[in-house]
Structure 1
Amino acid sequence: MSLFNQILDAINNPEQEGNSGQLSNILGTVEQLSNTYQTSPGAIQSALSIIGNYTRSALQEKRNSEGDQQVQQIINQFGGTQASPQALDLLFNAPQLQQIAQQVESRTGINAQTIERMLPVLVPLVLNFLKTGNHSQNSQGSNPVLNNFLDADGDGDVDISDAMGMAMRYLNK
């Protein structure tokens, strides 16, 4: 099942945290970043897809070394629409951040320094997407969106960008 289908299931399931307001906030933050950095929303969505791939790898490593509960705690603590340099520090080292910025620049045309300034917001946005699968009564319980994301086939293509496009259509934006 695609990431967006998992998110849509979470939105339609009253026992999960996801809701259309959460999607609207994520999309609104992308629009704000687009305006602030004079970049197209499509380029930011593409950047989120690349960042999602790195985030998946980092969360998989955390899961392997520290367990599912630690990964869920990271999602709960840092998933949002506000800047969180702490999320970057927890998931990535300095060379990884430079690699992310360079890859995003080469694939989107957004300047690497601009990406570095956006990363403290973009990583929490990815985590916020994953947060949609939280159980509404127990945020430490099973999260099918997170599980789908972490257990993906590893083809290097994280469909965050696709999920955002579908979310825009779902919300008629």
Structure 2
Amino acid sequence: MSLFDQILGAIENPNQQGSPDQLGSILGTVQQLAGQTGMDQQTSQMVMSMVGGYVRSALQDQQATQGSDAVQATVNQLSGTSADPQALSTLFSPAMQQQIATAIGDRTGLDPNLIQGILPTLVPVVLNVLQTGASTQGMATGNNPLLSLFLDSNQDGDVDIGDAMNLAAKFLN
């Protein structure tokens, strides 16, 4: 099952936290940020995909060292649709933040300083996407099939937040 299918499943399942309003808020934040920074849809999708990949790696590291419940707690605590420097600093050291901004800038042609400035918003947005799969009954990652799929390194590598966001935008329209 794809990441997008999991998001849709979470929206349709009353036992999961996802809702059309939550997804709309997430997409609205990304579209607003793209508009403010002059990114076209393809570039914003690429940026979201890359940020999603870095978040995935950071959460996988956290899962390996602290366990699945800690990952779900991080997602619950730090997800949102507004800038949250704590979310960024919790997952990435300042040096890693700079590396991420440079890598995204190199791939997209955007100024790394611009990327550095929007990372405090993009990281909570990615976490918010992951939170849509959380159970309304408990906090364990096992109760969040979306987060489990996102973190499962044995999947086919087709876990892409940017693609899922693009499909979600089409779904809501």
Normalising by structure 1, report the TM-score: 0.93
Matches of 2:161 and 2:28 in 1, distance apart?
Answer: 15
1:99 is aligned to 99
- Indicate yes or no: 2:22 matched with 1:22: yes
Corresponding residue for residue 40 of structure 1: 40
Decide whether the 8 Å contact of 2:68 with 2:140 is kept in 1: no
Counterpart amino acid of residue 165 in structure 2: M
Cα distance, 1:93 vs. partner? 1.0
Percent identity of paired positions between Structure 1 and Structure 2: 48
Runs of at least 4 residues of structure 1 off by over 2 A?
Answer: 137-141, 152-158
On the 8 A contact 1:75/1:131 being kept in 2, the answer is yes
Alignment RMSD: 1.6
Cα 1:93–1:156 change in 2 (3 A) is farther
* Structure 1 range deviating more: 36-45 or 122-131: 36-45
**Letter of the structure 2 residue corresponding to residue 69 of structure 1:** D
What letter matches 2:170 in structure 1?
R
Alignment-mate amino acid for residue 168 of structure 1: A
Match of 1:161 in 2: 162
Aligned residues between the structures: 172
Structure 1: 5+ residue runs without aligned partners? none
Unaligned runs of 5+ residues in structure 2 are none
Asked if the contact 1:60–1:150 (Cα under 8 Å) also holds between the matched residues in 2, the reply is yes
Quick one: distance in 2 between partners of 1:32 and 1:16?
26
Which amino acid counterpart does residue 40 of structure 1 have in structure 2? D
1:157 positional shift: 6.1
Structural mapping, 1:118-157, within 5 Å: 118-140=118-140, 142-153=143-154
Read off the aligned partner of 2:149 and give its amino acid letter. Answer: N
Q: Distance in 2 between matches of 1:153 and 1:104?
A: 25
Q: Which residue of 2 aligns with 1:6?
A: 6
Contact 1:6 1:145 in 2 (8 A): yes
Q: CA deviation at 1:54?
A: 0.8
